[in-house]
Amino acid sequence: MSADLKKSSSNGSEKSLINEEQQAKISEIRRLIGPLPEKLAIYCSDAAIARYLRARNWNVKKATKMLKETLKWRAEYKPEEIRWEEVAHEAETGKIYRSNYIDKHGRTVLVMRPSCQNSKSTKGQIRYLVYCMENAILNLPEDQEQMVWLIDFNGFNLSHISLKVTRETAHVLQEHYPERLGVAILYNPPKFFEPFWTVAKPFLEPKTQNKVKFVYTDDPNTKKVMEDLFEMEKLESAFGGNNDSGFDINKYAERMREEDKRIPAFWTKSEAPPEPMPTSSVDLNSFDSDASDSGKVDGSTSHVSDSEGLISGKSVLVTKGSDNCNGSKELLYR
């Protein structure tokens, strides 16, 4: 079948247009999933189901399995219930934070500094990552499904990589936040990244390749990427912009506490079509999928789908402690 129609540009901005055949697949997944409790029903908007379908190249069987696994994870992990006070200690060094500016397409921006790891707790790092992802999604405009990652490699080296957290990070982002990345800016990455990228690139779909931008302060050609994406007056000076304010944990904490107050309303607004509600508690095991993914489906190629992108193949880096920031930072790019 044909891919979903979309307007796309080199900066990773995409506007998806669903055709009749794809809408029918969304409806089919709704039927296969069945009735859901309120929060999970809200999660399963048409746009969300379409993201899972795109992540699995519009294969209903595979997308349904993926979505069911996410619904089970959300029912157990309860990401929408994480609050700032629970994860504040992970944020002290500014290893991941949502910027107070957006890109020119209105997309939320997550800043990541992999040399600023301050935690050795895998559970704590993943919990904070999920909080950041949920907060970024909470602040997306109605017409946007994707966000921007600004990854600052200042002070980074191979000693910062934690394979255990990398695997956990890759799993959460790949399986439960598909199609959420619009573009990833790798700012002054170490030179060893480029040979890896050359090897990995042929295994990625073109749209995934286009989402990753290597930007260097001493290269005027690649700096244009930043100018095309951001208002330079608002962009942080660490990324070549004119904003010198930097990260302030106290101001950020106050901001996050205020935004936490918006979360309950977000999860009570009805975006999904009305469905009969279960009369008893939902059995989490009902979200387990019996679908088998053995073999190719619909003549799919060996290219990595956009949901997996750069996360699979060990291309997500999660850092360990660093004297540079006295803190922690997950480095993620999909």
Residue 219: C-alpha distances to residues 104, 191, 225, 235, 334 (Å): 22, 14, 11, 18, 24
Tell which wins on pLDDT, 211 or 317: 211
**E strands, the chain, in order:** 5-8, 14-17, 96-98, 109-112, 147-152, 181-187, 212-215, 317-318, 330-331
Same domain, 88 and 73: no
Residue 220 tokens read as 């005027």
Handedness of CA 117, 120, 125, 127 (dihedral sign): negative
For the cut 90, the answer to whether the pLDDT of residue 84 exceeds it is yes
Same domain, 95 and 176: yes
Same domain, 67 and 123: no
For the cut 50, the answer to whether the pLDDT of residue 326 exceeds it is no
Q: Which residues constitute the domain of residue 53?
A: 20-77
Rounded-to-integer distance, Cα 31 and Cα 25, Å: 10
For residue 60, give the CATH number of its domain. Answer: 1.10.8
Same domain, 71 and 207: no
Q: Which 3 state secondary structure label does DSSP give 86?
A: helix
For the cut 60, the answer to whether the pLDDT of residue 127 exceeds it is yes
Same domain, 145 and 244: yes
Same domain, 72 and 100: no
Could you say which of 77, 92, 108 is where a domain stops? 77
Same domain, 53 and 91: no
Q: Is residue 133 part of a domain?
A: yes
Q: What's the pLDDT at 14? A: 55
The DSSP code for 91 is G
Same domain, 67 and 89: no
> What amino acid is encoded at 9 in this protein?
S
Same domain, 45 and 146: no
- Per the structure, the count of domains in the chain is 2
Same domain, 260 and 155: yes
Q: Is residue 249 part of a domain?
A: yes
Same domain, 220 and 114: yes
Q: What's the pLDDT at 191? A: 82
Half-sphere exposure of 51 (CA within 13 A, CB side): 22
Q: 258-264 long-range CB contacts below 8 Å, 24 or more apart?
A: 259/135, 259/138, 259/139, 260/83, 260/84, 262/138, 263/80, 263/83, 263/134, 263/138
Could you say which of 34, 49, 77 is where a domain stops? 77
Cβ pair 271, 42 in contact under 8 A: yes
DSSP conformation letters of 18-78: --HHHHHHHHHHHHHH----HHHHHH--HHHHHHHHHHTTT-HHHHHHHHHHHHHHHHHH-
For residue 264, give the CATH number of its domain. Answer: 3.40.525.10
Q: Is residue 156 part of a domain?
A: yes
Same domain, 89 and 191: yes
Per the prediction, the chain carries an average pLDDT of 80
pLDDT digits (tens, 9 = 90+) for 39-51: 999 999 999 999 9
Q: Is residue 154 part of a domain?
A: yes
pLDDT digits (tens, 9 = 90+) for 248-294: 999 999 999 999 999 999 998 654 444 443 433 445 565 554 443 44
Q: Is residue 152 part of a domain?
A: yes
Quickly tell me which residue has 């500094």 as its tokens: 113
| Average pLDDT of span 302-312 | 44
Q: Is residue 281 part of a domain?
A: no
- Give the confidence band of 13 by pLDDT, cuts at 50, 70, 90: low
Could you say which of 31, 51, 77 is where a domain stops? 77
Q: Is residue 287 part of a domain?
A: no
